[in-house]
């Protein structure tokens, strides 16, 4: 099996904890013989907005511009902008993609969200038929590695921020699983700026140890596409969960209590 890892890194400062986590990943994976490719979005001055400028020669219908449709046509005609094409090449070659970033407003930094908006082009990363477990990237793995500004206790189901599992669902299911990726459990660095130097070093050591066997980890579990009919979970599948304590996932909870840590650990 090829051992190619793409790290999509979104932080402005080389002195940040995110930079340290990124550097640890690069070193450990390279020492294990992996080819590591880095997309340092701020250093690249990566353009976040998804606009008609992404299409060489302009869109087919500028009066009613629809980004997804226009870029899908441009992809087929090899008319996407150079920066998108270069990122497509990196994604194609990668067996694993690690997204390294600070969590902003319970989500992704704008520059990283822009990378996803532009690089996960319709027709390249998904279609309305090729999605979820039938997605283009079903043979690839992906994961989030990120820092928070708040302590772990604040992201519990009883915490002021609410359950981190709920926060992660739109990203891990709505982006990564949607594109077919096998989604590995996230690596969360809880409030490093509020920790001691010793505490931050301990976080990096945990990450270092995990990286050693990362590609052998089992992914998080999501319902397979064949469990749905007419975009609804089949009644036979719903019946399997009726007598159980929890629903299948954070998103597919079937009105039942949410399964604990469904988006945090295997």
Number of Cβ atoms within 10 Å of the Cβ of 74: 23
CB burial of 214-228 (b: ≥16 within 10 Å; e: otherwise) equals: bbeeebbebbeeebe
Q: What is the pTM of this model?
A: 0.94
* Ordered alpha helix ranges (H), the chain: 17-31, 41-44, 67-76, 82-93, 110-119, 164-171, 197-211, 235-241
Q: Beta strand pairing status for 228-229 and 232-233?
A: antiparallel
Specify the pLDDT at position 1. Answer: 53
- What are the 10-residue block averages of pLDDT along the chain, 266 residues in total? 90 95 97 96 97 91 89 95 97 97 97 98 94 93 96 93 96 96 97 93 96 93 92 92 92 93 90
Chain centroid to Cα 205, Å, comes to: 23
Q: Which CATH architecture describes the domain 4-218?
A: 3-Layer(aba) Sandwich (3.40)
Q: What is the largest CA-CA distance in the chain?
A: 57
């Amino acid at each position: 099996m090829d051992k190619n890892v793409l790290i999509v890194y979104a932080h402005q400062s080389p002195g940040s904890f995110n930079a340290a986590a990124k550097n640890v990943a690069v070193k450990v994976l390279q020492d294990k013989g992996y080819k590591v490719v880095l997309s340092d979005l701020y250093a690249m001055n990566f353009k976040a907005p998804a606009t008609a400028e992404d299409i060489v020669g302009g869109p087919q219908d500028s009066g009613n511009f629809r980004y997804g449709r226009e870029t899908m046509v441009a992809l087929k005609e090899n008319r996407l902008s150079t920066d998108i094409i270069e990122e497509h090449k990196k994604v194609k070659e990668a067996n694993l993609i690690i997204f390294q970033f600070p969590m902003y407003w319970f989500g992704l930094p704008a520059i990283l969200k822009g990378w996803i908006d532009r690089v996960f082009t319709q027709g390249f990363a998904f279609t309305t038929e090729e999605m979820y477990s039938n997605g283009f990237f079903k043979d690839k793995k992906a994961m989030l590695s990120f820092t928070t500004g708040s302590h772990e206790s604040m992201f519990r189901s009883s915490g002021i921020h609410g359950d981190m599992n709920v926060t992660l669902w739109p990203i891990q299911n709505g982006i990564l699983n949607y594109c077919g990726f096998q989604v590995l459990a996230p690596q969360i660095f809880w409030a490093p700026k509020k920790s001691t130097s010793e505490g931050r070093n301990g976080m990096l050591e945990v990450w270092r140890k995990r990286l050693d066997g990362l590609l052998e980890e089992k992914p998080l579990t999501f319902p397979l596409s064949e469990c749905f009919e007419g975009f609804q979970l089949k009644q036979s599948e719903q019946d399997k969960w009726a007598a159980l304590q929890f629903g299948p996932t954070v998103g597919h909870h079937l009105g039942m209590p949410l399964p604990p840590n469904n988006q945090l650990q295997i």
